[in-house]
Structure 1
Amino acid sequence: MRRPTIIDVANKAGVSKSTVSLVLQGGAQVKPETKKLVHAAMKEIGYVYNRSAANLRASGTALIGLVINDLNNPFFTEFATSLQMALGLRGYAVVVANTNEDAAIQDQVVAAMLEHGVSALIVSPAYGDVSETLTALARAQIPVMQVLRQVSDDTARFPFISPNYQEGGRVATRYLIESGARRIAFVGGLDGRQVTQERVSGYLEVMSEHGLSPLVLSGRSSRSFGHRVAAQLFRDYSECDAALCFNDLVAFGMINACHEARKDIGTDFQIIGFDDIQEAAECWPTLSTVHCGVDAFGKQVADTVLEWLQNATVPPPSTRTPVRLIQRQTTRQGR
């Protein structure tokens, strides 16, 4: 699909190319009615004004956009930092936007990044109605990668890369069973979300293999949810002896609840997190967790995008990077 040009806008609006240019540059001499015609034509044919492309070419600086669903989560912050540093070392400037899990904000920031001439976009998408975002990205005709989360099945156009979440669920659950746990809960992660489904599926698979009954307690992936669910487990499921958490934040909340209940973490009750953010090795007791290699992952994404940009090497539709279990003090064998 050919990217629309300023001439296409002029033809659609029934005005001259110079008039369109004046509208794009904010010329005060253009009548309001004409401005409306031009903007309507731009929207209808999907034209994106590349406001800063000339300046970028003159300065020799290429700009890459990074859209993150939740920079309040340390996992995504660590990823963004790794990616930005890797691209910066290769001479690329990175503009970062946080959508705060809001699809409408995502539409806005993607449109702004395209308007300001990014050479490529890397998106860890918010969930919700992303149709407008995907339409804009398809029209932009630039490299676009989905990372960590997948919201579009069109991975030929928007390649997807993430850690192997399902395998992480498997290795963590096997480890807990080998450590003697039998009533293992999976805690956290919102129902219906792809990442939740993948992490839970590995857990369910191994529990079934060993003839054990699963216990899935879904909800927000936060410390407060982990704290609240741990109290519920100790009250309503006293036989529960371990938890695999959707992420490390949930695990931190469960650790706090164990301290309050005077549970001996790692013996009375085992906890495994997911992601291995920096704090996992610094909390007390230190957290056993599924290591997703977020630093190496950020560098791999940077390399992949630059290969696409510089050498036209289109990534595979889907890539899964390896994960491994880190044994620390919240499990028996890590003590």
Structure 2
Amino acid sequence: MNARETPSSATRVTMIDIARHAGVSKSTVSLVLQASPQVKAETREKVLSSIDKLGYVYNRGAANLRSARSNIVGMVINDLANPFFAELAVGIERVFHAAGYIPFIANTIENPRRQAEVLRSMSEHDIAGLIICPARGTRPADIAALSGLGFPTVLAMRRMGPGFSSVTPDNLRGARRATEHLIALGHRRIAFFGGYADMIAQNDRCGGWRAAMEAADLAIDPGWIIEGPPNRDCGASAIARVLDMDNAPTAALCFNDVVAFGVLSGLERRGLVAGKDFALVGFDDVAEARHTNPPLSTVHVDTASLGERAAHLVLRMIGGDTRPEEFVSDVDLVVRASSGGSIGRGE
């Protein structure tokens, strides 16, 4: 057998593989391949040894092509089927386009494995920067690994703690205000629909709901918290489930507008009307929210501005300012007919 540690023919060896094997950065491998005098002799030998062992073949033509595309930026979105993330992507793209950058967008459909594959592909194209909406199950260690790939990274919608730049709405405050609105309307049994407990945003939004309930000294039935994928099916099944309870809630806050759309459909199937028979509030205020029947009360997030903020932050980091920044945008409650309250913004 060949002495080289050559992977199977189905796996192409990359500069990242060489960097990991040699214990150096990808940029150091690149300098060695370019015969740069900046690399120490012992480091050069280590890299060349790894190249020989792994059987790496340097494609200079492809390398030159990647260099010519240094104005490409990555946009990794966790759920483009959700209109909220589509609106977020529009805001991101607007800023990058104006700055002369070309967005390379990918949808991970909340799959960490697919996300890893997408990030690997983007790193091989030497993108200038990255905005990522982490898939459910992404760990801080997964994001930390991105810093070793050498491009600025900003998280959108799901923060990962200190040390990572991120842009998010004030989920906890928005959920609390929405729940307080329902309490002010006289509701005492309020449910929370959608999302999973291992999602950071769900923790914040459910936490805001819980904080408002506890502050009003209202009992919380664990059965009123319905976890599930943040989609219409979850909302439809959740409302059907709680309406059959002995102590059925009279109102609900949903993880997002898409879940609330499902609740509207479920109520209609029961011959019930949101805002009259059951009070309902969503979260995000996507464009469709004002056109439902009845129009959906919801927590307004300035989605486009969040996307623009994320893009500007990446551009700042590309320019050399790599200080991490955690930006949390304010939110507003938009009251429409679905909650049965007075029409308007704020409460």
User: Smaller-chain TM-score range?
Assistant: 0.7 to 0.9
Alpha carbons of structure 1 residues 252 and 303: separation in structure 2 relative to 1, 3 Å: same
Could you tell me which residue of structure 2 aligns to residue 4 of structure 1? 28
Decide which moves more: 299-308 or 197-206: 299-308
> Does structure 1 conserve the Cα–Cα contact (< 8 Å) formed by 2:257 and 2:285?
yes
Summarize the Cα distance change of 1:244–1:135 in structure 2 as closer, same or farther, 3 Å threshold: closer
Mean Cα displacement is larger for which, 95-104 or 132-141?
132-141
Alignment of 1:128-207 (within 5 A): 128=137, 130=139, 133-134=142-143, 136-150=145-159, 152-153=160-161, 155-156=162-163, 158-207=164-213
Q: What is the Cα deviation at residue 129 of structure 1?
A: 5.5
Instruction: Verify the 8 A CA contact 2:152 2:322 in the aligned structure 1.
Output: no
Instruction: Tell me: CA distance 1:186–1:302, structure 2 relative to 1, closer, same or farther (3 Å).
Output: same
Q: Which residue of structure 2 lines up, in the alignment, with residue 331 of structure 1?
A: 339
Equivalent position of 1:320 in the other structure = 328
Q: Hey, what's the Cα distance between the residues in 1 that align with 2:46 and 2:114? A: 29
Superposed CA offset, 1:226-262 (max 9, x none): 1111111211145411000011111111111111222
2 CA distance for matches of 1:314 and 1:287?
39
In structure 2, do the counterparts of structure 1 residues 138 and 319 end up closer, same or farther at CA, with 3 Å as the change threshold? same
Runs (4+) of structure 1 moved beyond 3 Å? 13-22, 49-53, 129-136
Residue 17 of structure 1: how far off its partner (Å)? 9.1
Amino acid at match of 2:331: V
Counterpart for residue 31 of structure 1: none
User: Residue 283 of structure 2 contacts residue 300 of structure 2 at CA under 8 Å; is this kept in 1?
Assistant: yes
Distance 1:16 1:77 in 2: 42
Please say if residues 244 and 273 of structure 1, whose CA atoms lie closer than 8 Å, have aligned partners that are also in contact: yes
AA aligned to 1:285 is P
Q: Residues of 2 paired with 1:312 and 1:205: CA distance?
A: 37
Q: Which residue type is aligned with residue 67 of structure 2?
A: A
Structure 1 distance, partners of 2:213, 2:299, is 17
Which residue of structure 2 lines up, in the alignment, with residue 24 of structure 1?
58
- Tell me the distance in 1 between the aligned counterparts of 2:97 and 2:334: 30
- Contact kept, 8 Å, 1:51 with 1:115, in 2: the verdict is no
Give aligned pairs, total.
306
The equivalent position to 1:225 in structure 2, one of 215, 220, 234, is: 234
Counterparts of 1:181 and 1:50, CA distance in 2: 63
In 1, Cα distance between the equivalents of 2:54 and 2:64?
Answer: 13
CA distance in 1 between counterparts of 2:50 and 2:79 reads 43
Amino acid in structure 1 at the alignment position of 2:332: R
Counterparts of 1:116 and 1:322, CA distance in 2: 36
Is 1:112 aligned to 2:121, yes or no? Answer: yes
Deviation of the 1:66 alpha carbon: 0.8
Deviations 1:300-321 (A, max 9, x none): 11222212222526342x2211
RMSD after superposition = 2.8
- The within-5 A match list for 1:26-65 is 52-56=65-69, 62-65=71-74
How high is the sequence identity, in percent, across the aligned residues? 31
Question: What one-letter code is carried by the residue in structure 2 that aligns with 1:177?
Answer: I
For 2:140 and 2:320, locate their aligned partners in 1 and report how far apart those are by CA, in whole Å: 29
Gaps of 5+ in 1: 28-48
